[in-house]
Amino acid sequence: MKSLGIVTPQSMHFAEPLPLQSGASLAGYTLVYETYGELNADRSNAVLVCHALNASHHVAGTYVDAHTGKKQIGWWDNMVGPGKPVDTDKFFVIGVNNLGSCFGSTGPMHTNPATGKPYGPDFPVVTVEDWVHAQARLADELGIKQFAAVMGGSLGGMQALSWSMMYPERIRHCVVIASTPKLSAQNIAFNDVARQAILTDPQFHGGDFYSHGVVPKNGLRVARMLGHITYLSDDDMAEKFGRDLREGKYQFGFGIDFEIESYLRYQGDKFSEYFDANTYLLITKALDYFDPAKEFGGDLTKALSETRAQFFVASFTTDWRFSPERSREIVQALVNNKRRVTYAEIDAPHGHDAFLLEDSRYMNAVRAYYERISNDLEVA
């Protein structure tokens, strides 16, 4: 398959403050983004890809990692590119990094114009809706009045769903994968344990660790290890690691006995080297706060009643973080509103992470849906 090759990120500065859901506002800010493919003459083929917890605007193609200096592949390169399910020969695809991130868009490690020092803990708590608002401004600047589709997995799917509610006229198709209309108590509980690991790490310094020249690595490491467990299915972990021992026998100590320990600690170590602790806190809060039905007395059908898009919703059978049942709630609420909705429940072993992985049934379902979008483009 053809590759997009090296992609150069772009950035756009916004001088006008962004009013936030919290009541605070963010002064002038920058969004970094990447684009793939060409915007057509009537600007009708744009697709916005929203990212999840620890991803970024590096959706497809190859980029040079700011931290390691090494070439890296975009996180959804299997999904987006020439001839791929989201075909960049047909669509103009935008990957945008969200506010509060640590990958380029304005975040806690950037200078707070009010103080001349890094925002740190003063970076405002941002929500999914705030991100969508900021993304809409980027679309304005890029001259995109209406997206052919807005899509995302997990937290990215929440942004796509928000687009359909906040800007119903600006999105023809909404693609929501491995997502949920709101976090459960258990989801929130896992997030809060991760946050507590960071907040109580003495190196966190109340979020002001930048000025101390340290990083709360231990907290980030535990947070990531825990998160990682929830991204994999029990069965997949059993299949990949089982009770395999690193040294073939018990060590009777607290080093590494099991391969699963080695794997998780490695993932935690790696993450703590590059991810920002304040960003982790912010993004988990955005997850916890997402609940579009809240202002409608918990009625998701009402929350989705103003949508105009067509929907593609997908879930994965072994995803216990955001189980198929949660996607079905979205589908049911859309059906209640007589929206046109395609739902794929994929029998996949890889848990929540399945939305990032190669799986022919999943990829074919997305491909078929985008072919329909593309056919509509040509007819129009």
Contacts with a second copy, residue ranges (CB under 8 A): 21-24, 124-125, 182-186, 188-190, 192-193, 195-197, 199-202, 218, 221-222, 225-226, 229, 232, 234, 237-238, 240-243, 250, 252-254, 257-258, 260-261, 264-265, 268, 281, 285, 288-289, 291
Query: Which letter does DSSP use for residue 203 in this model?
Result: G
Catalytic residue among 87, 352, 353, 359: 352
Nearest distance in Å: CB 184, a second copy: 6
What does each C-alpha distance from 327 to 54, 176, 322, 364 come to in angstroms? 22, 8, 8, 19
What is the number of other CB atoms lying within 10 angstroms of the CB of residue 29?
21
Nearest distance in Å: CB 277, a second copy: 11
In this complex, which beta carbon is closest to a second copy, that of residue 21 or of residue 301? 21
In this complex, which beta carbon is closest to a second copy, that of residue 60 or of residue 128? 128
In this complex, which beta carbon is closest to a second copy, that of residue 72 or of residue 323? 323
Tell me the C-alpha distance between 59 and 35, whole Å: 9
Active site residue 359: no
Active site residue 352: yes
Helix axes 128-141, 155-166, angle to 10 degrees: 70
Catalytic residue among 319, 327, 353, 359: 319
In this complex, which beta carbon is closest to a second copy, that of residue 234 or of residue 358? 234
In this complex, which beta carbon is closest to a second copy, that of residue 151 or of residue 194? 194
Query: Which letter does DSSP use for residue 120 in this model?
Result: G
Catalytic residue among 56, 101, 105, 154: 154
Nearest distance in Å: CB 355, a second copy: 19
Active site residue 257: no
Give 186-192 contacts, CB < 8 A, sequence gap 24+: 187/287, 187/288, 187/321, 187/322, 188/288, 190/226, 190/227, 190/230, 191/284, 191/285, 191/287, 191/288
Nearest distance in Å: CB 285, a second copy: 7
The three-state secondary structure class of 151 is: strand
Contact 49, 176 (CB under 8 A): no
Nearest distance in Å: CB 183, a second copy: 8
DSSP code per residue over 222-261:
HHHHHHHHHHS-HHHHHHHTTT-BSSSS--SSSS--BHHH
Q: Which of 52, 10, 11 is nearest to 30 (CA)?
A: 11
The catalytic site residues sit at 154, 319, 352
